[in-house]
Amino acid sequence: MDLALLGGQPVRKSKWIDWPVWNKEAEGSMMELLRSGNWFRGDGNKCVEFEQAYADLIGAKRVLATASGTTSLIIALHTLGVDAGDEVIVSPFTFIATYNVVFNQKALPVFADTDPETFTINPHKIEEKINERTTAILPVHICGLPADMNRILAIGKKHNLPVIEDACQAWLAEYDGKMCGTLGDLGCFSFQNSKHIPSGEGGALVGSNEALMDRCVSYHNCGRPYGSSMKGMGDYAVRGSNKRMTEVQAGLLLSQIGRARKDADKRLENALYLDSRFKDIPGIVPYKLADGATRSAYHLYPFRYKKEYFDGLPRHKFMAALQAEGIPCGMGYGKQYFDGLIEEAITSKGYQRLFSKERLDRYREELHNLPDNDLLTEEALWFYQNMLLAEKEDMDDIVNAVLKIHENRSKLL
Ligand SMILES: Cc1ncc(COP(=O)(O)O)c(C=O)c1O
């Protein structure tokens, strides 16, 4: 059979499930909310209801609904004391928001290399990055894959550093039987439209320390004291910002949350099936769970493409061939630390004031010492979460397309 990229018939012609999925049953309550004009959380109860529903879903003690995952991370960093001139240890293989939030605090994101098998931060590379300015550790459960939390939490404890989980892709992922986002000092989630519980934009902050969570609520509500109303004048003892979720976002989230558990189980079933099929295909190396991780959320199904098993066929050509066969596939994150944003930040007036020339020169050099992450950025590919909501036959389409390309690889060279 000819490859679709070369004019042949594609393995798959049918569509994948569209995302997000509108919930018709929620039309009545959504219209009621829209007609009421109570779109601000100070005038309604949808945000509070969602906070409770999300706490129940992931077994969290406290949940604060926020405007986005990014704002959750900013609240967490601020409240845990990450200040101008500090350093935060971050995973380099992540969506750019994880870097941006650290820069937002006028701190330096210091990258610890990635474990290419698990796609998450390599815990053995963290301690060498700690210095007197380090203020927090920010692991990312990327693609929904839990980071090695036992080791990371032990390092945090040893050095008296808080651990903030970027769980923005990891709803219902489990580590050691506990939900990701509930293991560290604070956990941050995103409900942006591509996410498993979507509301266009949205986020949540999760924690179990009451005093810390009270401070998060206060910061996100313009610095009004915890327990005061969402509007009117406060008694502004601390700085704050407005990072509140709207009632409309919370209404959408309540209309979506009911499907989260069932969807998660379906993704798991299909991902395990793909694991079992890819095991026998040389050059396709699926993710591995980190030590102690019990379950991924499968926001993405990541794997490494080893071109040497495809006679050197470059990754972008393999990806194009797969897409032509009707199988959507994305490239993982690139070497974003060379995109320009870091240079722009560290040459800015503020950073030049906050850090010594020696530190910034060394920081710039260290960006060239992330060999495992560099390799991963050249090999990673992924399938999308909506594909994992399909049936076993649809997973066979994915595998058959990969096998077809492998068989016909010489024609693409
Ligand atoms: C790993 C990670 N961190 C942070 C964010 C930021 O979340 P948001 O887009 O809701 O601001 C995202 C969102 O895509 C993400 O994937």
Tell me how far the alpha carbon of residue 334 lies from the centroid of ligand 1, in angstroms.
16
Given this model, what pLDDT does residue 231 score?
81
Residues in the chain where the model's pLDDT stays below 70: none
Distance CA 108, CA 90 (A): 9
Mutate to test the pocket of ligand 1, among 169, 191, 252 (most ligand atoms within 8 A of CB): 169
Residue whose CA is at the smallest distance from ligand 1 atom 8 = 69
Q: Indicate the pTM of the whole model.
A: 0.98
- Please give the pLDDT value at position 1: 82
CA of 167 to the centre of ligand 1 (A): 9
Give residue 232's pLDDT: 82
Tokens 């998450």, residue? Answer: 120
* Cβ of 190 below 6 Å from ligand 1: yes
Alpha-carbon distance of 133 to 72, in angstroms, equals 23
- Report whether residue 168 contacts ligand 1, using a CB cutoff of 6 Å: yes
Q: What is the spatial distance between Cα 88 and Cα 76, in angstroms, rounded to a whole number?
A: 12
Q: Ligand 1 center to residue 97 CA distance, Å? A: 6
Indicate the helix (H) or strand (E) that contains 178. strand 178-179
Both structure tokens of 136? 């927090």
Query: What pLDDT does residue 219 have?
Result: 98
- Give pLDDT, residue 208: 98
| pLDDT at residue 135, rounded to an integer | 98
User: Which token pair is 254?
Assistant: 């309540």
